Amino acid sequence: MKFSRKILPDTNYTPNFVTKKRLHEDEIDFDRLRSYRLDRVKKELAKKDIGACILFDPVNVRYALDSVNMSIFNMHHLDRYCFIPVDGPVILFEYFNCEHLSKHLKLIDEIRPAISWDYFSQGDQAEKQINKWTNEIQNLMNQNCGKNKRLAIDVCNGPGILALNKIGLQVIDAKKIVEQARVIKSKEEIQCMKASIELCEKGIRLMRNELKAGMTENELWSLLHKTNIEYGGEWLECRILSSGQRTNPWMQESSNKVIQKGEMISFDTDMVGLYGYCADISRSFIESHKFNSEQKKLYGMAVDQINHNSSLIKSGISFKEFVKKSWVLPEPYYGNRYSCMVHGIGLCDEWPMIKYPADGGHQSGQFEKNMTITVESYIGEVGGKEGVKLEQQYLINENGLELLSHHPLEKT
């Protein structure tokens, strides 16, 4: 069933409402943004001789089609997906009675109701539903892909994959396909990312200004959430903020612990903000902003690691060479090391993820122009009292890096 595609303004708000513009909204060519991203997906499919892909992951659907609906809900329910052939119409399979949400998107040729076999919504009708779904997918593959029976899927449960295999389709993992598509950013993507970072840093400034002894970690962390939502951002991937002794070891999420005078507060934003782009920035503050000698030492080491590792990165440098030359984390701190030294960034954390040598850091690949990355540091001695987390976000240029995250580091 086809739906009329009257083009509406670039917003989910009713057109008659007066709306507050998002940061840099008038400067971004959204048609070019969308065309670039969908074309990247199709080219990766063609390169691997794959006839089509089905994307369930809301972040991948957002990348390919810029279509958004209940992203967090659909991360754990198979109720919304899209079908993208190399040649043929792009079809969005939308959640119940939500077809109107994406009618303004020009690159979607057809919107159909999703067929879900998720147990939550279907119960004992799941098997009947999965048969309907596989029949529809088989018809689409026959109509658009000819003899090519290779179908890439990013997220699907066991029964779904088994059902597709039974009808003769070769299921390929779409993760690599979409990650490779997403790795090189267009001008418009970089504009979106800069807007999201600008918004994130509004929240970081508010957190720093409002930080005081007596407030809880959750109270401090809520300021970033508020800022993100208030200006049109979307969600935070994690809630990693801790204070005092909870900063070591790392990865502890915010709690009702009351912040004490002179304590370290460290956090990692992981913020999916404006236009769906991630602002992934880490900072460490001191309540009262006065460092003691141990805090100065930890902070200085984190700055040294960020500066050294970022100075190594430019287009054409292999990941192996980077790992070989990377800053050496002293042994007393190595057991508490972070999960990576560098990772890609876009709509969320993306490929590559470059780890420490002991964790298999020597994967193949190289840094390329117009990749966007973050450089990470966590410094906390094993058995130590506190730890410092810093992270900067960059764009790779021809001869080095452009710093995208501008909230200043602390003066110790």
Q: Where are the domains of the chain?
A: 25-182, 187-403
Please tell me the distance from the alpha carbon of residue 208 to that of residue 122, in angstroms, as a whole number: 47
Under 8 Å between Cβ of 86 and 39: no
> What strands, in cross-sheet order, belong to the sheet with 52-55?
110-113, 91-94, 81-85, 52-55, 150-153, 170-173
What pLDDT, on the 0 to 100 scale, is given for residue 17? 64
Q: What stretches of 76-186 show up as alpha helix (H) in DSSP?
A: 119-122, 126-145, 158-166, 174-182
Chain Cα centroid distance, residue 318: 23
Structure tokens at 271: 């913020």
191-240 confidence digits (pLDDT tens): 999 999 999 999 999 999 999 999 999 999 999 999 999 999 999 999 99
pLDDT given for residue 399 in this prediction: 85
Same fold, 25-182 and 187-403: no
- Predicted confidence at residue 19, as pLDDT, reads 78
- What separation, in Å, do the N-terminal and C-terminal C-alpha atoms of the chain show? 63
Count CA within 13 A, CB hemisphere, residue 31. 5
**CATH architecture group of domain 187-403:** Alpha-Beta Complex (3.90)
Strand, coil or helix: 239: coil
Size of the chain, expressed as the number of residues it contains? 412
* Stretches in the chain below the pLDDT threshold 50: 1-9, 11-14
- DSSP lists the bridge partners of residue 83 as 54, 91
The pLDDT score that the predictor gives to residue 16 is 60
User: What b-and-e string marks burial along 213-229, b requiring 16 or more CB atoms within 10 Å of the CB?
Assistant: eebebebbbbbbbebbe
Q: Which pLDDT value is given to residue 361?
A: 67
Phi, psi at 87, each rounded to 5°: -130, 120
The helix/strand count (H/E) of the chain reads as 11, 17
Instruction: Classify domain 25-182 by CATH number.
Output: 3.40.350.10
β-pairing verdict for 170-173 and 241-243: unpaired
